[in-house]
Structure 1
Amino acid sequence: MSVSKATPSWVLLGALVLAQICYPLTSGSTRAAFTVATVVLGYLLSVTHAWLTRGPRAALALVGAATLGGFAVEALGVATSFPFGTYDYSGQLGPKLLGVPLIIPLAWTWMAWPAWLAAQRLPIARWARVGVAAFGLAAWDLFLDPQMVAEGYWRWVSPTPALPGLTGIPISNYLGWLGFAVVLMTALSHFSRVHEAGPDDGPMLGLWFWTYASSVLAHAVFLSLPASAVWGGVLMGAAVLPVAVHLLTPARPETDQRRVRP
């Protein structure tokens, strides 16, 4: 019996979902440990899937663009306040390098790959898929930052101006996310050469939809963050829901244009 290339990804996705379910049921150092575990599992999930389904070139492109690129932009942000604003990390997320917890660039990688593959499902131009993937990744931060700031994992020195209801996080942060996400997805598009959907992308689509739906639910019900549930639900939904609609819409059969004589 042959094993699908996606099987290891399904196993990792199951472990990640379990860790995320445990997150709101814990607190303190235990919750921080589940945060780190979730990011590590997500990183392994995305990189492993890229390698097994698209080959080493795609996996290395993902690591280069998202992991190394994510660390570089975070180190720049901590040192210069550009492009996210003036912020710093607490010591709750593990060891740091140049002021950046080592799991932070893993988080960029974890969500960049499903955002990219989900965009490949849309029947739009390649450049437009870059835009959709970048917007979806940046919109995910409307869930991530409010949750992490509420936990005290990082903070902004000057958190204004902010979006209504999302105090503690400046708008510059979201603009910085969007700007870097465009650069990241452009690099991933060029170097990975992945520009079409694949038969083994189920785990990544599952991760993308799960992240969106579970984030809305968790923020609205379990984490007492209703504003981020609304902002993230609307804006990330603009990238996620069209993919869901496209996948659920039955394909039209090709019309036979030939005329048959009686």
Structure 2
Amino acid sequence: MLELKNICFSADGKQILKDINLRIDDAKFIVITGPNGSGKSTLARIISGILTPDSGQILLDGEDITALGITERARKGISFAFQQPVRFKGVTVKDLICLASGQDLSTADACQYLSEVGMCAKDYIDREVNASLSGGELKRIEIATVMARKTKLTLFDEPEAGIDLWSFKNLIDVFEKMHEEIQGSIIIISHQERILNIADQVVLLSAGEVKQIGTKEDVLPGLFGMETGCRYFKGGDE
């Protein structure tokens, strides 16, 4: 479904990604992991269209989408959840969920998405998506909007950031339910072992290169062998 061919990217005179080749088949749950500074978030932004690679190709269902921006890729079925969610002054939570779904949802239907990410819907559905919300609240609202979109390819950049321990456990259930119900591919940038546990495939990135692709059991020894790898897997909050 998604194929990256020889992707390279540099910024400020430093090469961030080096000749990345990666294929993600339909309905797969993929986790991209690796030490800080390995290029994980950059790769997610290139897949979503926020950044354009210096060279290489991105193919979606065989179509070259390398030159397309984030809006055009969203129309083709790619969703992206930021590590730090965006605030929207004057936009309510219900407005945002309806916009994401492309439908004029009833309040009950919109509330269902909030309930699935562990939020008391009646306390949030009419609130503005602004600075009055905490980072963890914004993160869960953003995940609810991504669920409402039901796209064939969804990317999450460190979705556990700012999430408390109870919500983190709930988050795992949300991802498993999304994968089962939508039957689309999910790519998560993460270094949490409990997220790796539910992945079909784990991609280990280091120094801008794909070092290994396999199951969690295949990849973890390589990560722990890296100088800073061991400090990533503490579970829950960091």
> Which has the larger helix fraction?
1
TM range (shorter): 0.3 to 0.5
TM-score, structure 2 normalization: 0.34
Higher Cα Rg, which structure: 1
- Higher RCO (CA < 8 A, seq sep 6+): 2
TM-score (norm 1): 0.32
